[in-house]
Chains A and B, each alone.
Chain A
């Protein structure tokens, strides 16, 4: 690549002037997308940041208040407590999904790799929940886990585990774990596909050579397959992190917008929603914009951080 690039770069300009687009046609092609993107995404992002530095009376802007909204968010009740509670639940969601994906997801991808005929069938089945709306998944599980008529408890009673037929979503100590499990269940199709593709991309020669040298299956997994999967793990981890931090539909379906029971299924996006649209605070715009900005910077920072760490790990392994 490093050798070919300068050569083509030298040769290209005179050859392509005939079809390369000049400024006016380029802009004409880009303009519709650019206008939509600027008006509906860039402008609101900038505005959200600026909103957080102003005081608000309803929808009327009061005056510049500096970081006062951030101070309110981090120190005043109920925001401060709910922020940490929601944040810890988001972290739990991420941790749960991470464990789920890199154990069961990776394991299934490794097992599927050796299958010829049934691979596509299993991939389709395992990916199905991932494609269904998280709202549908959340409500479906709220019915599944319902204490009296719910199929989960019916199965437990049916096999004689009467004592395990618990009020899964009614008990504050259990409810958040149900959110973690349901989210993990829904997301697992994604790593199965990604890991599957990455394993398929590993040159067979590597495995064969190691095998001829007497490496056991476990050794090959540890020293060939897993190191080659590190970049994919990085991608899966970053996307899972973003998904876990932005989770809203499944907690909303399982516990409503207040994270019931007793705030045990509350997450940051629900707090944002409540602060912006359901709180009586006249300054709700200021505080919720501060929350959005904090969340935004946190997600961005950690995603970049994870990508960096994974890149370094990749370099060390190769």
Chain B
């Protein structure tokens, strides 16, 4: 009987255009869209920074030797053009208008300071809303500074290395996979969890509140099927819809990589391939399964209680934030799966997935997270059953 109800509800659900969109179409498209945007924006940004000529305005009260030094800096940092200004007012005005991007004010004592071997002041103007301009200015000044330092060391007959007592070398022992897992690995489970939730939402409302609103529940309850069987048949479809939405998001990710070839960097591609292994997908779904049951178990009592589709929607939609917001914890580097976080629903799934991607997952915490989610899923089923068994909740 449960399967008969499940089959019918699934057919009914898949024929609902709204559910079909949120369950299949949007999840499939989300990764291609995000990756396309990401690749497009980063390509155009790097292309723009490589080709964009930076105009540097200089107000020099001295002999303007800084202009000469700037011109000698190789083009590898980027194209540049030096423009001489008479006063800082027009220099600032032009930076604001984006006619020039960097402004330097060199006062009359600049060369004197260099000659007397004291620190020569230089004022750097830039517009912080123009991305990367402060970095570019720092790069130019570091080169000028190093040149001046080298010259001064020669004049003072000092070995330059004597001024740097320590020469640190930083070696990153984390693998690329680990780096991606720890720094960006939170995004992946977040998207799966968000779609798992959204995927459950419309079927839960449609199969419970919708049935009540349309007046079909009454006839269903007069059939010789036990209430728990009706609940399980319907709940099965709600859970499947959530998992299907998450699966569609995963399919979208595969399509982006394998069909649309949105990731061109071979090194990154091989890391992604190693992350999306069959064992990762099995472990991900093993965690998503009880989580989706938990989502369904939270939504179903609300859907049973609500009298109209609108009422159910208005309660469940804000719940989205409460449920999915903890998933954002995975975005923060530093928060890791431990005894405490493994006991927090949603957070444990995100962190487990994140550690799974990074390849640093400890089995005991995975098992603990799984047990916590199973307990919650069972409680949610029990709570849904209690609600569905209450006759005044089911009938309008």
- Is B a genuine binding partner of A? no
